[in-house]
Structure 1
Amino acid sequence: MRLSIIMAGLNGAVGVAIGAFAAHGMAGSEMDYARSLVEKGAHYQLVHAVALAAIAGLVHHVPDEKFLRFAAYAMLVGILFFCGSLYAIAFSGVTLFGVVAPIGGLSFIAGWLMLTAAGYRRFGR
């Protein structure tokens, strides 16, 4: 779970930095669409950075950590593909990057479902 803690910290820092850049460095009506993409990506990145930290904190409370490990990896893939595609579109203008966003969205969903499974295995019996 060391990786989850490291990735939580790095993704939290990047999410804050890129969100601040969107708010302050992307001013002007011609940048509205790109700014909205960056803000959405930063929002999802920050939410999932917190989830990664929570997953790392849960490892001592769940007897079989395999579901937690899968949850963390799925959320990392989600950040890479979903948030990354939004950032790529915003900064390059190439909308083709959007084709990978659903992979990231599905990865986020899978991560949350794996977290659910870990909780069920620990507390549902």
Structure 2
Amino acid sequence: MHKLFLIISSISGMLAVGLGAFGAHAFKDKLAAEGTLNTFQTAVQYQFYHTLALLGIALLMIKYESQWLSYAGYSLTFGTLIFSGSLYILCFSGMKWLGAITPVGGLLFILGWIFLLMFALKSLE
């Protein structure tokens, strides 16, 4: 399982850098004109934060076998897809209704951190 989360975090980190650079250079004027530049930057930031957290989970899984880490990894993975993904699509498509599903990704982020806390409380002594 740690290999899966390591692969996902690597791909997510690569995409965050690429999307961040692409948005800052190729689409900066378009995003600024549409008033979505801040939204785009939020998507990139949260993708990076949770990519690093997922990397940490993958590394912890090398040493510790815990369902809590698996739950945390899946929560952060799907949280990133839903939270950042919906914001990226909103920025480029203008589909404002996607803003309604973004909080689901935020809830998954919170759950991921709760699961990581549960791992720490239950597994580390």
Q: TM-score, normalised by structure 1?
A: 0.91
Q: Quote the residue 2:99 is aligned against.
A: 98
Deviations 1:83-123, CA, capped at 9 Å, x for gaps? 01100110001101111101100000000000010011123
Measured after TM superposition, the shift of residue 10 of structure 1 is 0.3
Measured after TM superposition, the shift of residue 11 of structure 1 is 0.3
Q: Quote the residue 1:114 is aligned against.
A: 115
Q: Quote the residue 1:53 is aligned against.
A: 55
Farther off after superposition, 73-82 or 18-27? 18-27
Report if aligned partners of 2:66, 2:123 keep a CA contact under 8 Å in 1: no
Query: Tell me, which stretches of 5 or more residues in structure 2 are unaligned?
Result: none
Report if aligned partners of 1:18, 1:38 keep a CA contact under 8 Å in 2: no
Query: Tell me, which stretches of 5 or more residues in structure 1 are unaligned?
Result: none
Q: What does 1:1-125 correspond to in 2, within 5 Å?
A: 1-28=2-29, 29-31=32-34, 33-62=35-64, 64-123=65-124
The code of the aligned residue for 2:119 comes to: A
The code of the aligned residue for 1:118 comes to: F
Farther off after superposition, 33-42 or 89-98? 33-42
The number of aligned residues is 122
CA–CA distance in structure 2, aligned partners of residues 109 and 51 of structure 1: 12
Percent of residue pairs identical: 33
TM superposition outliers: structure 1 runs of 4+ over 6 Å: none
Measured after TM superposition, the shift of residue 39 of structure 1 is 1.1
CA–CA distance in structure 2, aligned partners of residues 93 and 8 of structure 1: 28
